[in-house]
Amino acid sequence: MTRVGLLEVRLALHGIGSLKAKRGIIKGLMERTRNRFHVAVAEVGSQDLWGTADLGIAAVSSDAVLLQGLMEKVVRFIEEQGAAVIVDYRVEIL
């Protein structure tokens, strides 16, 4: 059976003075996440707010346990990057 793993992450970006600076940070973070984990990543909310970003991350597999582990690894990776602080996140396996 096909499973879909969804991860919603709310990030706080401190010291950002413009949307252009925010987009540069978020674009790089999304690209590194895509390349490292082969997941789909998009900015799904707060596009017009300087200090906040909402990312949606998705992956498909037949193994729900694998997806859960993958999403937890993505969360740790984002935290380790230091570009932003995770304020909240939610993992859902469908």
Q: Is 6 exposed, middle or buried (0-12, 13-18, 19+ CB in 10 A)?
A: middle
- Three-state secondary structure string covering 52-83: EEEEEEEEEECCHHHHHHHHHHHHHHHHHHCC
pLDDT at residue 63, rounded to an integer: 96
C-alpha distance from residue 57 to each of 6, 8, 15, 25, 33 (Å): 6, 6, 25, 17, 9
Residue 32's CATH number = 3.30.70.1120
d(CA 41, CA 26) in angstroms, rounded, equals: 11
Structure tokens at 54: 């909402």
Number of domains in the chain: 1
What does pLDDT average to over the chain? Answer: 95
Question: Count of H helices and E strands in the chain?
Answer: 2, 4
What is the band of 15 on the pLDDT scale with cuts at 50, 70, 90?
A: confident
Segments forming the whole domain that contains residue 74: 3-93
What is the per-residue pLDDT across 41-87, written as a single tens digit (0 to 9) for each?
999 988 888 899 999 999 999 999 999 999 999 999 999 998 899 99
Q: Quick check: pTM over 0.85?
A: yes
